[in-house]
Amino acid sequence: MSEKRTQFQVLRDDWHKMSVYQRFESLVALTLTAVIGVIILVSLYKLIQQVGSGLLSGFFDPLQKDSFQVVFAEVLTVMIALEFNHTLQFVAPRQQSIIQTKIVLLISLLAIARKVIVLDFEATDMGELVGMATLILALGAVYWMIRERDDRLAAQSKADAG
């Protein structure tokens, strides 16, 4: 039974095979992973602190739209950072040479969804709403095209192998 190697074990084992640039890219990815990890921890701590103190003091009412929007936006911010950090974990050990466009598009869609959730539609002008809607449609269409291409390539490689 083979053991699953961690990203750090893969990086350590393959370090001598890497070019100088690949090593540099891996070190940058590890540094970014650590920095984003700290940001995630601090954001999570502040979120827990804000919700806890708000509930205890009666200031935060989860049934109020404004309170819910603020907390949910902060939760989405932590989730976006987690997703971004997750993508970097594959760059450091060279499992992926670059961050995939598909993942960046998904993170962008999450960020826009966060913006839409906290948006006050009554105070936002029509031009901004149309701009965001256009951006969401464009990102969704590009994501769909990339996913379709990947699915087609996977099916083709399966057919070629079989």
pLDDT in tens, 43-85: 999 999 988 888 777 777 767 777 777 788 888 889 888 888 8
Residue 104 near residue 143, CB atoms below 8 Å: no
CA distance 26 to 16: 13
pLDDT in tens, 128-162: 999 999 999 999 999 999 889 888 988 888 888 86
- Whole-prediction pTM: 0.67
- Amino acid code (one letter) for 65: K
The helix/strand/coil state of 71 is helix
Task: Report domain extents, the chain.
Answer: 1-98
The CB-side HSE value for 139 (13 A sphere, CA atoms) comes to 19
